[in-house]
Amino acid sequence: MNSYTVNVATGHQMFSGTDNYIYITLIGTEQCSDKVLLDKSLYDDFESGAVDSYEVKVGQDLGQLVLVKIEKQNYWIQDAWYCRYITVKTPSGEHVEFPCYRWLVDDKNVVLRDGKARLPQDDENILVKQQRQKELEIRRMTYRWKEWQPGFPMSIDANKETELPWDIQFTTKKGISFVLNYTKAIGNLCVNKFMNMFQSSWNDLADFESIFLTIKNSNIEYVMQHWKEDSMFGYQFLNGCNPVLIEKCFKLPDKLPVTHEMVSSSLERNLTLEQELEAGNIFICDYELLDGISANSTDPNTQQYLIAPICLLYKNTQNKIVPIAIQLSQTPGKDAPIFLPSDAHYDWLLAKIWVRSSDFQIHQTVTHLLRTHLISEMFAIAMFRQLPAVHPVFKLLIPHVRFTIAINTKAREELICEGGLFDKANAIGGGGHVQIIQKVMKTLTFRSLCFPDMIRMRGMDNNEEIPKYFYRDDGYRVWEATKSFVSDVMCIYYSNDERVQGDGEIQAFVKDVSDFGMQDSDSGGFPKCLNSREELIEYLTVIVFTASAQHAAVNFGQFDWFSWIPNAPSTMRKPPPNQKGLATLSLIMESLPDRGRSCWHLGAVWALSQYQENELFLGMYPDVHFTEGRVKAAMEKFRKELAGISESIKIRDEKKRMPYYYLRPDKIPNSVAI
C-alpha cells in the first residue's frame, strides 16, 4: 500500500464549512487513485492561511503524479470554499505543489496541474493535454465577450458584479459600491450639507475652502495657494493627473493663428515666435477630441457646457512650462479670441479654467477609463479565454488583472451607466463619455500603449530639453524594470523565436485581443500574432505596465490635483466668453460647478484616490503560481530593482515642495482595482 501525504492550504474565507464534503483524487501517468473523502473533522476547523494534512492510501502505482482533482459536495446550504494550493508528498519522498487559488462553489470540481509552468508544445502526456484543452473550453464558456457600447473595447458578458465567476469577484463585499464609497467620502469630507445644493453657486473662490475643513495634504494646500499661477498651470501638463497630452510643437496649426506680436511679451530669449518653434521651446495641448461631443443635459435646471480649446505653452529661461495663448474653440474667428497672459486678469484666469475643465474631461474618459480600465479588462478576458493556468504567461499576468473585471463591471453597473454617478457632476456625462470613447477608439493604437513610444511620439523624450518631467523619468525606470522582469521570466520558457511562433495558445491570446477585444480594428495595429521573443516581451510589458504603473500615474493623484474645484472643474455652467473684457469674478463663480456638483466631484476624486484594503503593490506576488526557482529569483531581482527606484524617488522628493510619488513602485498597485 502506497501512502501519499496531502497538504491542503485554505484561503481567506470559508462559508458554512459544516455543509461541505471535500474529495481528492490523485491522477498519475499510470493510474488514478480512488476518490478520497478528506477527514471532515479537520477541515471544519480551517482558518485563514491554515495548512491541514491528510493521508491518502493508494494500493496501486500511480506513476508520475500529474493532476489532482478536488471535488466539493455541499448539503443543505449552498456555499463556497477557497483553496490556495495543495502539496503532495509521494511515497518516494518527492514534494509536488499544485497551485489552485480558486473558489469551489456549490458542487464544483477543479483539476490542478503541478506548479511548473509549461508551454502547450511541451506537454506529451495525453491526460494533461486533454485537461489543458478541457480547462480552456470551460473558460471560454465562462468568460464571454460582450459589447457594452458600440465601438467600445469588448468587455465581460455580465450585467452585475455578482454575476461574475467567483474567482474574479472581490474577496470582500466591503468597499466595492461606488454609491456607498462616494457617500462615505462625502461624509468623511464633512460636506454633506452641500450635497443636494444643486444650482446654488459659491459666492467667491475662497468659499471653496469651506469644503476642506478635514482632509488636506501638502500637495492639495500647495495647489490651493498657487493654482492661479501660470507656472502651476503649466506644471500640471508634465506632472499632474493627465501628463499624456502635451506635445512639442514645431509648426502652429492653421486653426490657431497666433502671431509673434501677440506673444512677444511672454518670450524671454529675444527670439521670434518662429525661432522659438524651431528651437523646440513651444508646446501645444489640443483638446480636439472634445469637438462635437454633447454636453451633459441630464439636469433640466442646469445648462452645462463642453468646449475643445487649444493651449499654446512655452518653456521659459527657467525651464518652466507656461501658457502663452489659449483659444477656446477649434475654429478661429472673431467669436473665438485668443486669450493671452497680457489680457485682463479675469479674462486670462477664466480661459485657463476652461482649459483645466477640458483637461479633466479627457482625463476621466480617455486617459483613465479607456486607456487603463477598459484596455486592461480586454487583455484580462482574452487571458482567461486562451491561456490555461499552467501557461507561464497566465502565471505572469494573473496578479496584474486582479479585480479589474470586477471593478469595471461595477462601474458599468453604477458609475458610467445611463443615470449613473458619472452623470451627476461631469460635463461629459449623460452620454458624452460614450461618444468620446467611440471617437478615440477609431485612432487608438497599440504603439501608443508602449510607454517609450508614447513619450517619443509627442516629442517629449529629451530630458535635457524638457527637465523635471517626472512622469516621463520615473515611468521610463519602471517600464525598464518591468520589461527586464518580463524578459527574465519569458526567456526561461522561450529559448528562441521559434518557441514563440509554435505556441498556439499565446498566438490565440493575441488574436483574441485583436479580433474580438479590439473588434478587429485595422487602424490600431494591435498584433494578430507574435513572431519573436522580443515582440512577446514588449506585448506583455505593455499589459503589466498599463495595469500597474500607468493606472497609478493617472489615478492616485486625483484628490491632490482635482479636489480644489477651480483647478479642475468637473463641469462649466456658463458658455465660454466669445470676446475679451467680459470675464468678472461673478461670471467665474456662475461658471464653476455649483455646491451640489462640487461635493459629488469631491467625493468621487477622494474615493478614486484610495488604495484597496490589503493592497498588493508592484512586485508583491503572495500567491505562488510559479514554483520554479529561476522565476522566484527573477521576482526577487525585480523587487530589488523596484525598491531601488522607490528609494531614489523618496530622496528626490525630500527636496521638492510638491513631491511626485505616483510612479514610486511602493505606491503602484499590481492591477487596476479602483
pLDDT tens by residue, 218-253: 788 899 999 999 999 999 999 999 999 999 999 999
**For residues 378-402, average pLDDT:** 98
Write out the three cell numbers for 112.
Answer: 490542478
Residue 467 in this model has a pLDDT that exceeds 80:
yes
- 175-192 CB burial, b ≥16 within 10 A, e <16: ebebeebbbebbeebebe
pLDDT at 37: 86
- The helix/strand/coil state of 110 is strand
How would residue 614 be classed by pLDDT, with cut points 50, 70 and 90?
confident
Q: Tell me the backbone φ, ψ of residue 91, rounded to 5 degrees.
A: -55, -25
- What 38-46 contacts at long range (C-beta under 8 Å, 24+ apart), as own/partner pairs, is 38/6, 38/8, 43/8, 43/10, 43/17, 44/17, 44/18, 46/10, 46/14, 46/17
Write out the three cell numbers for 99.
Answer: 497551485
| Greatest extent of the chain over all pairs of C-alpha atoms, in Å | 96
What span, in angstroms and rounded, lies between the C-alpha atoms of 331 and 353? 19
Helix, strand, coil percent values for the chain (each to nearest 5): 45, 15, 40
Give me the half-sphere count of Cα atoms (radius 13 Å) on the Cβ side of residue 150.
2
pLDDT tens by residue, 320-376: 999 999 999 999 999 999 999 999 999 999 999 999 999 999 999 999 999 999 999
Q: What is the CA radius of gyration of the chain?
A: 28
**For residues 439-459, average pLDDT:** 97
How would residue 175 be classed by pLDDT, with cut points 50, 70 and 90?
very low
How would residue 315 be classed by pLDDT, with cut points 50, 70 and 90?
very high
What span, in angstroms and rounded, lies between the C-alpha atoms of 94 and 221? 60
**For residues 141-161, average pLDDT:** 97
Q: Report percent pLDDT > 70 for the chain.
A: 92
pLDDT at 652: 96
Q: Characterize the bridge pairing of strands 65-74 and 20-28.
A: antiparallel
pLDDT tens by residue, 181-192: 656 555 655 555
Lowest model confidence (mean pLDDT) among 66-80, 244-258, 591-605: 66-80
pLDDT at 16: 44
Give me the half-sphere count of Cα atoms (radius 13 Å) on the Cβ side of residue 443.
5
DSSP code at position 109: E
pLDDT at 17: 46
**Contact indicator for 127, 134 with CB cutoff of 8 Å:** no
Contact residues for 229 (Cβ-Cβ < 8 A; gap 6+): none
pLDDT at 108: 80
What span, in angstroms and rounded, lies between the C-alpha atoms of 36 and 326? 74
Q: Characterize the bridge pairing of strands 20-28 and 36-37.
A: antiparallel
Write out the three cell numbers for 199.
Answer: 444650482
Q: Report percent pLDDT > 90 for the chain.
A: 75
Residue 15 in this model has a pLDDT that exceeds 50:
no
pLDDT tens by residue, 360-378: 999 999 999 999 999 999 9
Q: Report the chain's mean pLDDT, rounded to a whole number.
A: 91
Write out the three cell numbers for 218.
Answer: 501638502
What span, in angstroms and rounded, lies between the C-alpha atoms of 390 and 627? 11
Matching residue, cell 478587429: 520
Higher pLDDT, 601 or 39: 601
Q: 415: burial class by Cβ within 10 Å (0-12, 13-18, 19+)?
A: buried
Q: Characterize the bridge pairing of strands 145-146 and 109-113.
A: unpaired
Sign of the four-CA dihedral 244, 249, 254, 259: positive
Contact residues for 659 (Cβ-Cβ < 8 A; gap 6+): 218, 219, 653
pLDDT tens by residue, 56-77: 888 788 999 999 999 988 766 6
Q: How many helices (H) and strands (E) does the chain have?
A: 23, 15
Residue 640 in this model has a pLDDT that exceeds 60:
yes
Of 116, 628, 629, 111, nearest in space to 391 by CA: 116
Q: Tell me the backbone φ, ψ of residue 284, rounded to 5 degrees.
A: -140, 145
- The helix/strand/coil state of 547 is helix
The number of beta carbons lying within 10 Å of the beta carbon of residue 659 is 17
56 Cα distance to chain centroid:
45
pLDDT at 18: 46
pLDDT at 194: 52
Give the residue ranges of DSSP H helices in 89-171: 126-142
pTM for the complete prediction? 0.95
Residue 136 in this model has a pLDDT that exceeds 50:
yes
Residue 479 in this model has a pLDDT that exceeds 80:
yes
